[in-house]
């Protein structure tokens, strides 16, 4: 199996997890036992939808936009994590920080797989 297919499956999984977790709060009104930052729940749900229905598909199809989409996704997650660690220090729930860390690690793995596959492809020059 091509590494890009594995990367696409990982992207789908992390996106589906965000849809599930965010959807419980956004769509079903689940009340958490910790303080929830409203915009963060919407961000997580939206990024999950975008990941499942756009980015994972671009990666699966090995689109010329796949790498840019994956890099952009990682960059946005890293930016949000920096905002949480600075502007929301002491307010953000530890669960939210763990979830963001997991997303960032997943996207680093996804990008690594994509770069390895790209380097194996004929005609690639560094």
H or E segment and range at residue 69: helix 66-86
44 lies in some domain: yes
Q: Which of 64, 88, 91, 59 is nearest to 74 (CA)?
A: 59
For residue 36, give its domain range. 3-117
What is the rounded CA–CA span in Å between residue 114 and residue 95?
29
124 lies in some domain: no
- Mean local confidence (pLDDT), 101-112: 98
CA 100 remoteness from chain centre: 8
pLDDT in tens, 28-65: 666 766 677 889 999 999 999 999 999 999 999 999 99
Among 21-25, 39-43, 100-104, name the one with the lowest average pLDDT.
21-25
122 lies in some domain: no
| Count of domains forming the chain | 1
126 lies in some domain: no
CA 58 remoteness from chain centre: 14
pLDDT at res. 30: 67
pLDDT at res. 111: 98
92 lies in some domain: yes
96 lies in some domain: yes
Predicted confidence (pLDDT) at residue 94 exceeds the cutoff of 60: yes
Q: Which of 1, 104, 106, 92 is nearest to 38 (CA)?
A: 92
Q: What's the chain's average pLDDT?
A: 91
């Amino acid at each position: 199996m091509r590494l890009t297919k594995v990367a696409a499956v990982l992207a789908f999984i992390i996106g589906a997890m965000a849809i599930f977790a965010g959807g419980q709060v956004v769509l079903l009104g689940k009340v958490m036992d910790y303080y929830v930052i409203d915009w963060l729940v919407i961000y997580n749900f939206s990024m999950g939808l975008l990941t499942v229905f756009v980015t994972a598909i671009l990666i699966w199809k090995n689109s010329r936009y796949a790498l840019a989409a994956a890099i952009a996704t990682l960059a946005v997650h890293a930016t949000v994590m920096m905002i949480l660690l600075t502007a929301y220090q002491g307010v953000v729930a530890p669960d939210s920080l763990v979830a963001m860390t997991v997303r960032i690690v997943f996207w680093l793995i996804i990008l690594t797989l994509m770069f390895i596959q790209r380097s194996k492809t004929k005609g690639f020059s560094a």
